[in-house]
Structure 1
Amino acid sequence: MPSIEKRGEKSFRLIVEVGTKGKRKKERKPIRIEDPALLKSKRKLRAYLEEEWYKFKAEIEAGAYIKPEKRTFNMFVTDWESKYALDHLDDKTIETYEYIMGKEIKPWFGDMYLEDIQPIHILNFLDEYKKQNENISSSSIHARYRIIRDILGKAADWKIIKENPALSVKRPKQEYREYEIYTEEEIQYIFELLDQYAPLRNRVFIKFAFTGGFRRGELLAIDESDLLFDTNQVRVDESLQYTKKHGYTFKEPKNKSFRTIALPSEVMNEAALLLRETRKNRMRLGELWIGYEKDPSKLLLFGSDYGKPQYPTSPNTWWQRFTKRHKIKPARLHDMRHTHATMLINQIGKVPGLNIKAVSERLGHANVQTTLNIYTHSNNEADVLVADAIGNMLYSEHLKSGTN
């Protein structure tokens, strides 16, 4: 039966006994009632307090209860990591949070009691960060604000502090970086250079990026089972991630955007050639072949020479060197995705069945609004039409006659 003590006119204390027989102890939680309607009705008050008692008991039994004692920021971060972050954030996000907190946020807020952190302290931290990093991007400033806001927000949700002080700090303005867009003529020239000078693996990787609009992690996760040569399609069901703690792991694509993307037949033919070469290389190396340690049978299309996953930044490093060597307009790999999206949007109204919803689904966005927000500056049949349109744009008769 719920054990509830009255401590004052509006104050009560919930008491729950925990532990095994002979080693039991009592956990206590103060409750303050401010609702006049509850204070006027003994029946409603009792029902409310009993409900809170059962919630309190469930938290204790689940190991989720945090005592409302004076806690420093560092003490709370330990609870935040074990009771929230590990279950709700992916490994890469946790690694990023830990790096920023360990280097900058913990040294500033670490020994402060949570209840003593005020909006001015957060403002001072952000101002000092900007002073020490004169050319820092607005996204970096915003990232630090977001981490502080999210952590203190959990402290407020768990009733350790009354409210989140970060909510009283104006969100730092975030200036989104303009992305580079390649023209159709520039892409055709790039493809000619790739055909002449790029190794097969790099050549196919860049062409996949331009013609499929994949995210980098999605490209690096493509294995032989994802290549549907009968229909010239590629299945996206994983994304490669690397963290120092866990090494290479394959996770769900962003926003759980499982999808199948149709590509131009010319690009898929080159992918088939790359896959054959990769299989031959595996046979030639024999026991020297490493592959993916957690699943040796996994044959990656864009794996390293010994079959291991590529380090996520490796393709971008190669691309930057390639653009410099051939005096191509430099851009990030992700800008190829932006280029792809822009080409598709420009074809709306020209390609039958192509609309903003088909573009959004092809890109793997969570919803159409995301696509509109980024690029305001489907069905399988529509997707095939999209691939045909891209093939017509990038593989003109002149280009086809000049390459094998």
Structure 2
Amino acid sequence: MPKKSNTPIKAYKKKDGKTYYMFKVYLGLDPMTGKPQYTTRRGFKSVKEAQSALTRIQFEIANGTFQKRTYESYRDLYDAWVESYKNTVEESTLNKTLKYFEHHILPAIGDYRIEQLNVDICQKFVNRLHEKLVKARTVKAYASKVLDYAIKRDLIQSNPFKLVEMPKKRAPKKSINRVERNFYSKEELNRLLSLMKEESNRKAYVAIHVLAFTGMRIGELTALTWEDIDFDKKEMTINKSIGRGVENNLYEKSTKTGTSRTISLDDETINLLKEWQFDLKNNLGRRFKKKKQLVMPNEENNYLQQTKTRKWLNYVINKYKPPPLTTHGLRHTHTSLLIESGANMKQVQQRLGHSDIKTTMDIYTHLTAHAEKETVNLFTNSLKS
């Protein structure tokens, strides 16, 4: 009969079906509680690798130099990091961050021991991200934050993500696709609004018009109240937005940059908003709030789902076949038309609420096809004069 092995090394299988090895080591009695203490290590790919780690720990225990680790894996460290991180950001930002980790980071590297993560492992992870995600650089940055947290707590000496190189961007396709051309010319916008006006959905028409004529973000529109509109001065103050929380709830928060801005409104938009306010009062009756009444409420007079404008746009686009456009494309459209009308970048920055002019320059340097043709005409005319 074979002798029973005394080694603490045990084999186990992960969900991927592969066999890994682990061990549990006795550390002695806790001097405070008198209870036995243990430490567990797992994730070893071979008995030899596990035995090497076991021997090192046993040597440290014998010499009194062993320090029990608080975090066994990247996932354990993440759990501690996120408890600290969630107190530093808006709930909507936390919601996005949690999804990055849930869908992309933890499934890939969550089970690695902290000291096991090296440049090669992190580089392969980033390479795979780049193949399937547009926001690979953003996801990499969040994965790196967890290891920065480990450095601050003297758990590791360096962060391998700092040495990882981002793969080069793929060459863009020559054809203009939906993302590249996500804005309308003046003629296209007028046609879109005309088509929406013909439909029976008055709320959809007003919402799309306001987005296109103000350049405000969809979250800012759904948070807008009538107190934010000064009909006499023909101004609108944008000082809040609607975010989506961890529990998928909608809540009021500050604007994206944390600052408010006041913008001028044209006569057409002012008159349209006056008419809409009258209609809304009639429709809501006693439910119309004297204070903090939303300009664009849902049927229950609560926050409107931000996907509604996309559905309204898609309905008209699918029915009448104008060029594709997203809700955010209305903000792009407003910017393009501002530039076409002669507004400088500083004016555009202030109207759109960008934190710095570089953002305006980086994102909105494209003009409409009409503006580009006008530029060529101006150059040609200058040669003839």
- Taking structure 2 as the reference length, what is the TM-score of the superposition? 0.70
Alignment partner, residue 363 of structure 1: 352
* Aligned match for 2:363, one of 374, 387, 390: 374
Distance in 1 separating the partners of 2:150 and 2:186? 51
The letter of the residue matching 2:105 is: I
The Cα shift of 1:80 comes to 0.7
**Deviations 1:177-232 (Å, cap 9, x if unpaired)?**
42422111111212222222252211111111111111110111111111111122
Paired residue secondary structure (1:138)? coil
The Cα shift of 1:96 comes to 2.2
The Cα shift of 1:146 comes to 2.3
Q: How does 1:234-313 map to 2 (within 5 A)?
A: 234-245=236-247, 247-283=249-285, 286=286, 298-313=292-307
CA contact (8 A) 1:232 1:263 kept: yes
Moved over 6 A (4+): none
CA contact (8 A) 2:216 2:352 kept: yes
**Structure 2 unmatched runs, 5+:** 1-31, 34-67, 173-178, 367-385
Alignment partner, residue 339 of structure 2: 345
**Deviations 1:140-160 (Å, cap 9, x if unpaired)?**
x33322221222223234433
**Deviations 1:73-109 (Å, cap 9, x if unpaired)?**
11111111112x2122221222222223223322332
The letter of the residue matching 1:145 is: K
The letter of the residue matching 2:358 is: Q
CA contact (8 A) 2:240 2:255 kept: yes
The Cα shift of 1:347 comes to 2.6
* Aligned match for 2:139, one of 144, 150, 157: 144
* Aligned match for 2:192, one of 190, 199, 219: 190
* CA separation of 1:219 and 1:115: change in aligned 2, threshold 3 A: same
**Deviations 1:117-158 (Å, cap 9, x if unpaired)?**
112112222344567xxxx3422x333222212222232344
* Aligned match for 1:164, one of 159, 168, 177: 159
The letter of the residue matching 2:184 is: Y
The letter of the residue matching 1:357 is: K
Distance in 1 separating the partners of 2:105 and 2:290? 40
Q: Which moved more, 1:304-313 or 1:104-113?
A: 104-113
Distance in 2 separating the partners of 1:296 and 1:170? 56
Alignment partner, residue 80 of structure 2: 79
The Cα shift of 1:241 comes to 1.2
The letter of the residue matching 2:317 is: T
The Cα shift of 1:375 comes to 2.2
Distance in 1 separating the partners of 2:181 and 2:220? 20
CA contact (8 A) 1:257 1:365 kept: no
The Cα shift of 1:70 comes to 5.0
Alignment partner, residue 123 of structure 1: 123
The Cα shift of 1:173 comes to 4.6
The letter of the residue matching 1:303 is: P
Percent of aligned positions that are identical: 23
CA contact (8 A) 1:92 1:243 kept: yes
CA contact (8 A) 2:222 2:241 kept: yes
Distance in 1 separating the partners of 2:153 and 2:275? 56
**Structure 1 unmatched runs, 5+:** 1-22, 25-66, 349-353, 378-404
* CA separation of 1:68 and 1:361: change in aligned 2, threshold 3 A: farther
Matched residues, number: 294
Q: CA RMSD in A?
A: 2.6
**Deviations 1:43-81 (Å, cap 9, x if unpaired)?**
xxxxxxxxxxxxxxxxxxxxxxxx964542111111111
Distance in 2 separating the partners of 1:375 and 1:223? 28
The letter of the residue matching 1:224 is: W
Distance in 2 separating the partners of 1:71 and 1:100? 21
The letter of the residue matching 2:83 is: S
* CA separation of 1:269 and 1:296: change in aligned 2, threshold 3 A: closer
